[in-house]
Amino acid sequence: MTLSTTIITISFSFLLSVILAPIVIPYLRRMKFGQSIREEGPESHQKKAGTPTMGGIIFLISIIVSTLVISFYFDKLTTQTIVLLIILVGFGLIGFLDDFIKVVLKRNLGLTSIQKLIGQIIVSVIAYFLLKLGPFDTTVGIPFTELDIPLGQLYVAFLIFWLVGFSNAVNLSDGLDGLVSGTASVSFATFGVLALAYEQTDIAIFAFSVSGALLGFLLFNKNPAKVFMGDTGSLALGGALAMVSILVKQELLLLLVGIIFVIETLSVILQVISFKTTGKRIFKMSPIHHHFELSGWTETKIVTVFWAIGFIAAMIVVILEVL
């Protein structure tokens, strides 16, 4: 896969999102798929009520079409490609059901955490057994070394934990206009570069398709957002990102590539532990992006800083792993 092919892949998925968005957004608005804002959230977010959500459909379609078209063209449609699409669609459907229950059926909590977890585990196990049909490495690589940790039969537990964990981490991070779409685009592009370096063209095609589709979506999701991705998009992106890290055998490297998602999740965990044990809160509100909002930062400033942190982390990974 050459540089020109990479650019074509990103451009194709980008254009698909740009073309689909003006079609899908008015439809979501007509169907009254508007975002409801939690009363306990920052007061500044109340003005976002009614903004069309479930917009993840836009980039999910773009990713699927782009991945299949480019993979077929270069004869790179593999079992790994199918697994990535299964994770993307499977987790996306779970998110869609959650959004549909909240937005259409007006049940604010959507799916219960147990229902989500069961769905995520089922999709993860299906993906695992598909991978086991061929040669599949059940070790976990240690970043920036030649060492790895053999897990054997325990790898399925790790895979489920990794997919579910990062799916929910990206979901938690999706609270500001453009935050996840921009950050995730960089994360997927980083793994695309790694996949190219490891001569895994099939995975690179998928990763760059996601990156391009998200950049196209970002044009409509940046502040002030015309559409939100909803759980439909965020759960799908988190699961797919975790699976990409698994397939390039750089699972733990995702902790750095996806550092924003890790920080956001840790802020929630620390907040809960602190409140339950001491009755005090560490942050004004969690996830941590809300803490900065309540500290006086503008939404645009927070998103820009978080993008920058994600980009710097990505550059560190590329420099140390590829260059």
Return the pLDDT at 27. 94
| Element housing 140 (H / E) | strand 139-141
Return the pLDDT at 60. 98
What are the mean pLDDT values of the chain's consecutive 10-residue runs (323 residues total)?
88 98 95 71 69 96 98 95 98 96 79 95 97 92 91 96 98 96 98 96 97 98 96 98 97 98 98 96 96 95 98 97 86
List Cα–Cα distances, 190 to 130, 185, 196, 252, 279, in angstroms: 25, 9, 10, 14, 40
Return the pLDDT at 50. 80
Return the pLDDT at 4. 85
The reply, when asked if residue 223 is annotated as ligand binding, is no
Residues facing residue 255 across a β-bridge: none
Return the pLDDT at 308. 98
DSSP state of 143: T
Q: Give CA–CA dist 16/19, Å, rounded.
A: 5
Residues facing residue 140 across a β-bridge: 149
Q: Give CA–CA dist 217/214, Å, rounded.
A: 5
Return the pLDDT at 103. 86
Q: Give CA–CA dist 212/188, Å, rounded.
A: 9
SS3 148: strand
Q: Give CA–CA dist 320/323, Å, rounded.
A: 6
Tell me the whole-structure pTM to 2 decimals: 0.95
The reply, when asked if residue 75 is annotated as ligand binding, is no
Residue type, 75: D
Return the pLDDT at 200. 96
Q: What is the DSSP string of 203-217?
A: HHHHHHHHHHHHHHH
